[in-house]
Amino acid sequence: MAKIVTLKKGLDIKIRGAAADAAPITVKPATCAIVPDDYSGIVPKVDVKEGDSVEVGSKLFHDKQFTDIVVTSPIAGTVTGVIRGERRKLERIVITPAEDAGNSITFETEGINDRTRAQQLLLDSGLWALLRQRPYNIVPAPGAAPRDIFITGFDSAPLAPDFESMLSPRINELNKAVKLLQKLTDGKIYLGIRQGSCLASVEGVEHVVFEGPHPAGNAGVQICNVKPVNKGDIVWTLDATTLLRIGKLLSTGRLDTDTLVAVTGCEVTTPRYVITKIGADLASILKGNVNDDAIHHRIISGNVLTGTHESPEGYLRYPYYQVTVIAEGDDFHEFMGWASLSPRKMSFSHSFPGHFLNKLFCPDARLQGGRRAMIMSGIYEKVMPMDIMPEYLIKAIISRNIDRMEQLGIYEVAPEDFALCEYVDPSKLELQKIVQEGLDYLRKELS
């Protein structure tokens, strides 16, 4: 019998525009791009130049320190852009697919029977770069074995995609992937699932059923409620889609870069699922499916809480399997919004009638107020189901006090764990940014 963890704190934000359950349609991307910033912890060294032709699984760039960590191409085609920004920082590598975009490098998957080989297979195929380690939420360094591995089997974010129908016919491949992961750690492999998930039949893992609202699906929350990270511990995290990619690699020897994406949000005409490639361009994914109204739109790669704000020419970013389009709101002047009793105002606070209505909302991207010092207390705690004192940790980070950050559990958190706190905050503080800066600072000072 799986362990059941019931989380009371948290918040399911009710937004209109959930993807319909119908069968996904396939979208062939016009271009794909890999953004090195999505692979936190990696300092990219480019391995390709414009005009090179690549196959699925070809090396695009590697890490400066751990040269074995590579990020590989999701499609076969031609490198049409190595885009650099300020101070020649690599911003993205753009690949235009060839006629046969499926041409793939074949990886040797036989005889993977020890830790070194298992690590090497993941590194070579580029799947390693999809793993994350706590602390810091970065791509793990090769070599060391983690204390445990945590797999998040569901996404609880607003309008998040449901992977059950994709995963349920693939249990064999998932089992294979788990066997490989077992070689990588001496500890346990935990799989966090919802009640009734098809993942309950995956073997070789310790199932933990999480009940309760978002952020129940966050790796940090699951770890904290199962076996928290202590100073000095390293655990790895990955999601079920990555687990499936490992399984398919083991079965076929080829890198599977198909990705199920939920196209969601109020400004999407037909919210639906699409199957496309890792790093696909958003224009292809959204073609003809964004409301044709006069208002400004915000296109988000990911969910409304943690996703990145992209231009219409942007790309699907890792680790997201979701594209959300909402109103931007900068072209909208609301008269005395602070006094509003409109039921359309979405809020966690009881002071808005909308809080008590069982309806779906269409929020826009406005801050809805001015940035202030931390005034109200006890609000972050209501949406943080972790044994963390968010306000004090944030203050420790702002004051760059390393001892205090460690004492208050900075190793247990990632910016995404503070996303709901940031959403409900009446002072509109940039908590995720603060946490990310704190983690970067800590990593720099302690290395």
Encoded tokens for 47: 């391995």
The residue count for binding other proteins (CB under 8 A) is 76
Q: Which of residues 320-379 bind other proteins (CB under 8 A)?
A: 324, 326, 328-340, 345-352, 354, 363-378
CB of 355 to other proteins, least distance (A): 9
Least distance CB 384 / other proteins (angstroms): 12
- Identified binder of other proteins from the candidate list 17, 135, 161, 415, rule CB under 8 A: 415
Residue type, 283: A
| Least distance (Å) between residue 178 CB and other proteins | 25
C-beta of 284: minimal distance to other proteins in Å? Answer: 22
Q: Residue 68: exposed, middle, or buried by beta-carbon count in 10 A (0-12, 13-18, 19+)?
A: middle
Q: Which residue has the tokens 């076929």?
A: 252
Q: From the CB of 424, what's the least distance to other proteins, in Å?
A: 5
- Specify the residue, 253 or 354, whose C-beta has the smaller distance to other proteins: 354
Cα–Cα distance list, 101 to 28, 83, 277, 318 (Å):
9, 22, 10, 20
CB nearer to other proteins: give 8 or 350.
350
How many of the other CB atoms lie within 10 Å of CB of 397?
Answer: 24
The answer to the question of residue 387 lying near other proteins (CB under 8 A) is: yes
Give me the least distance between CB of 25 and other proteins, in Å please.
Answer: 25
* Torsions phi, psi for 420 (to 5 deg): -70, -35
CB of 300 to other proteins, least distance (A): 5
Q: Rounded distance, CA 67 to CA 27, Å?
A: 33
Closest CA to 254 of 149, 152, 101, 129: 101
Q: Which residue in the set 104, 409, 413, 439 belongs to the binding site for other proteins (CB under 8 A)?
A: 409
* DSSP, res 15: B
Contacts of 308 (CB under 8 A, 6+ apart): 300, 301, 302, 317, 320
Closest contact distance (angstroms) between CB of 430 and other proteins is 5
Window 251-310: residues binding other proteins (CB under 8 A) = 298, 300, 304-307, 309
Strands 3-6 and 32-34 turn out to be unpaired
CB-nearer residue toward other proteins: 181 or 434: 434
Which is closer to other proteins, CB of 22 or CB of 339? 339
Among 5, 381, 440, 443, binds other proteins (CB under 8 A): 381
Footprint on residues 157-176 left by other proteins (CB under 8 A): none
For helices 240-252 and 171-184, give the axis angle rounded to 10 degrees.
100
Nearer to other proteins, 50 or 330 (CB): 330
Site string for other proteins, 4-33 (x = CB under 8 A): ---------x-x------------------
Q: How many CB atoms lie within 10 A of CB 125?
A: 24
- For other proteins, the binding residues in 417-446 under the rule CB under 8 A are 419, 422-428, 430-433
Q: Does 311 bind other proteins (CB under 8 A)?
A: no
Sequence-ordered list of residues with C-beta below 8 angstroms from that of 296, at least 6 positions apart, any chain: 327, 328, 329, 330, 331
Angle, CA 52 vertex, CA 51 and CA 56 arms, to 5°: 130
190-229 positions binding other proteins, by CB under 8 A: 228
Question: Site for other proteins (CB under 8 A): which residue of 98, 392, 440, 441?
Answer: 392
Q: Which of 104, 99, 100, 256 is nearest to 177 (CA)?
A: 256
Residue owning tokens 């890198």: 255
Nearer to other proteins, 105 or 226 (CB): 226
State in angstroms the smallest separation of the CB of 361 from other proteins. 9
Q: How far is CA 128 from the centre of its chain?
A: 15
